Amino acid sequence: MGALAAQVSAVIPCKDEADRIAATVRAVAALPQVGRVVVVDDGSTDDTSRVAREAGADVVRHDRNRGKAAALETGAARVRELERADGQADAVAPVRSALLFVDGDLQETAANLGVLTQAVLDGSADMTIATLPAQITAGGGRGLVVNLARGGIQHLTGFTAVQPLSGMRCVGPRAFDAATPLARGWGVETALTVDVLRAGLTVLEVPCELQHRVSGSDWRGQLHRAGQYRDVWLALVARGWRPWHRG
């Protein structure tokens, strides 16, 4: 492991991604900036853990689904364990490497994530956020959750996010410490942005050529978006957002 690679650890939270996780892991592991890949299987009912392990990832499994934020925290804790085992940190040290958060369904396009690490490693940003191009398969949402997250972030910090719900991020050690403990569930990305900015740190959005599975317009997609809306709302309210006080 080179000095540069040791500075970035990829954390991939996922559930029921056995058909996509191997390609994602291999693409991320091939990035020269990445020294380790940790997959957190958040209560899958398929072979996600086995497939990820065979692809070369260090795998931690939740016995039940605990949500994305919990999976990210488990992944960060595992990175800290691996750093101690490598002699990079002592028993009480925080995570030293930058964390590259990766959705498990990116497959081969995850090879384009390297652009997120550059600004964090050279110190020009504390957290980078991927902005994605138009997806090959259109989603079934109407932008309600995106608008909620964007408006709340702007109100609380003055920062206008292009893609406030993007899960692909490179988070430096100071930024991760500022956002810990992470907001629950699907509110984690929105809260990360708010907490990092409120700590006086720098956030940069970076265009990244990624393709992932989008939520459809069927009942499953609607339930997913309803859960997102709830968690984003709760994360914003917990940070002082009071939309009902307007006017």
- Give pLDDT tens digits for 37-51: 999 999 999 999 999
User: What per-residue confidence (pLDDT) applies to 127?
Assistant: 98
Residue 54 above 90 pLDDT?
yes
Residue 58 above 60 pLDDT?
yes
CA–CA gap between residue 92 and residue 66 (Å, rounded): 25
Mean per-residue pLDDT of the chain: 89
User: What per-residue confidence (pLDDT) applies to 138?
Assistant: 60
Q: What is the DSSP-derived secondary structure letter of residue 247?
A: -
Tens-digit pLDDT profile for residues 189-243: 999 999 999 999 999 999 999 987 655 556 465 676 788 899 999 999 999 988 7
As a CATH number, domain 5-137+162-215 is: 3.90.550.10
Q: Stretch 67-83: mean pLDDT, rounded?
A: 94
Rg (CA), the chain: 17
Retrieve residue 144's tokens.
């309600």
Give the rounded percent of residues in the chain with a pLDDT score beyond 90: 74
Q: Stretch 145-159: mean pLDDT, rounded?
A: 96
Predicted confidence band of residue 247 (pLDDT cuts 50, 70, 90): very low
User: What per-residue confidence (pLDDT) applies to 225?
Assistant: 77
DSSP β-ladder status, 127-131 and 169-171: antiparallel
Q: Which DSSP string do the residues of 13-81 spell out, in sequence order?
A: EESS-TTTHHHHHHHHHTSTTEEEEEEEEES-SSSHHHHHHHTT-EEEEESS---HHHHHHHHHHHHHH
Q: Stretch 109-135: mean pLDDT, rounded?
A: 93
Predicted confidence band of residue 140 (pLDDT cuts 50, 70, 90): very low
Higher pLDDT, residue 239 or 95: 239
Q: Which helix (H) or strand (E) holds 149?
A: helix 144-157
pTM for the model stands at: 0.89
- Cα 142 to Cα 150, 220, 229, 234: the distances in Å are 14, 15, 12, 20
User: What per-residue confidence (pLDDT) applies to 5?
Assistant: 45
CB under 8 Å to 33, separation ≥6 — which residues? 4, 5, 7, 8, 100, 114, 117, 121
CA–CA gap between residue 184 and residue 106 (Å, rounded): 23
| Torsion angles phi and psi, residue 3, rounded to 5 | -60, -40
